[in-house]
Structure formats: C-alpha cells, structure tokens
Amino acid sequence: MNSQLKIIGLGLFLSVAIVFGAASLLSKMEQRAVDPSLIVGDARLSTGSAEPRVTIVEFSDFQCPACRASESVIQEVLRENSNDVRFVYRHFPLTSIHDHALDAAKASEIAFSIGKFWEMHDLLFELQDEWATSNDIKALFASYADRLGMDPGAFLNLWDASEYEQQIRDDIRDGRTLGISSTPTIFMNGRKVSADQLSQAVTAELH
C-alpha cells in the first residue's frame, strides 16, 4: 500500500513539474524578440529619431478606440525621448468589426503620397467619432484633405488606385504572420509591450 502511494505521489510530482516546466518555457518563448524586419517592415510611416536607441512599432486601426487612447501615450514617449526614439505606424484595420477602418487607412496612405500622413493620422484619431458613423466616407475624407491643405479633387482621383490598398495589405500580412489579432499591438525593440507599460519599458531600455 505504501509503495502504491509513493508511486502515485511521484507521478503527481512529475506531472506538476512538467506543467510548470512547460509554462516556464512558454513564458521565455513569449518574451523572446521576434524578427525585427518583419515587425518594422519598410518603415515608411515613421517619425522621431534618425538614429534611435528604441524603435516603437504599432499595428493599429484608425477606427479602434483603444488605438486612439494609445496615441497620447506614444506621443508623450516621443516628446520626452525625441533624440532616442523612433515610432513606426503600421496598418492593421479590423474590418470585421470596423466598417470604415480600411477606408481610413487608405485615406492616410493617400495623404502620405502628398506628404501629409501624420497630419491625416492625427486628424483621423481626433475625429474618429465623426467619420466612424459616416454614410459618405469618401466625401468626408476629401473634406479632411481640404482641411489639411490638400487638393480634395486630387485626393479623390487617387482613391481607387490599387497601390494604396496593397500597402495596407502588406502590413496586414506581416501582422498576421506575427500572430496579431487585435489592436493596438505594440512592439518595442522587437518585444511586445502593452500601451500602459510602454513609457516604463522605454525608460528601462534607455537607462
């Protein structure tokens, strides 16, 4: 009887050890940095330091309220560490739940081609509640272009150009390869961090 109890006890001990060992290994794998080139992409949509010690990459959706909230955190980090931090914006519109997310991403890409990406980026987040429920999204985004000093007619002429959606889909492809399924998803020097941990993580990286 005692031998049987010892065997059962040993079995339970080994089972627990295996479970904890697997959990520890998984945790280490999750913390390991992934391929930086896949995260950063072509870095077309970037701002901040030209020689950064820290690169922040955000996969974002202009129609996502949590993404709008994360922008203030990212902007504060950039202001406080302007010589050391670069920020790269990447598209990940959640089209299954956000009807106008892809259109907003396209509007920002057209603005980029005219040299106004960051202005459109800021305006789209600022006026998210307005355009998210619009019934005439093209006309509204053209009015935003006009507001930012772009020719609204030229903006609309570029609307159906396939190159803009392809650039967005390239970002989506990389995001899916990285296992991203929600926004915002933020990486700092190749490691995933949450928006509320970003400032502390950047400070720790720089000091």
DSSP string, 147-163: HTT--HHHHHHTTT-HH
Which residues span the domain enclosing 6? 1-32
Let me know whether 43 and 104 are in one domain: yes
Q: How many CB atoms lie within 10 A of CB 175?
A: 21
Mean local confidence (pLDDT), 72-85: 97
Mean local confidence (pLDDT), 52-76: 98
Confidence of residue 190 (pLDDT cuts 50, 70, 90): very high
CATH number reported for the structural domain that contains residue 101 in this entry: 3.40.30.10
The pTM of the full predicted model, rounded to 2 decimals, is: 0.83
Residue 16 tokens read as 């627990």
Q: For every residue of 47-68, which 3-state class applies, written as one string?
A: EECCCCCEEEEEEECCCCHHHH
Let me know whether 51 and 12 are in one domain: no
User: What's the pLDDT score for residue 36?
Assistant: 78
Confidence of residue 6 (pLDDT cuts 50, 70, 90): low
pLDDT digits (tens, 9 = 90+) for 124-159: 999 999 999 999 999 999 999 999 999 999 999 999
Let me know whether 28 and 126 are in one domain: no
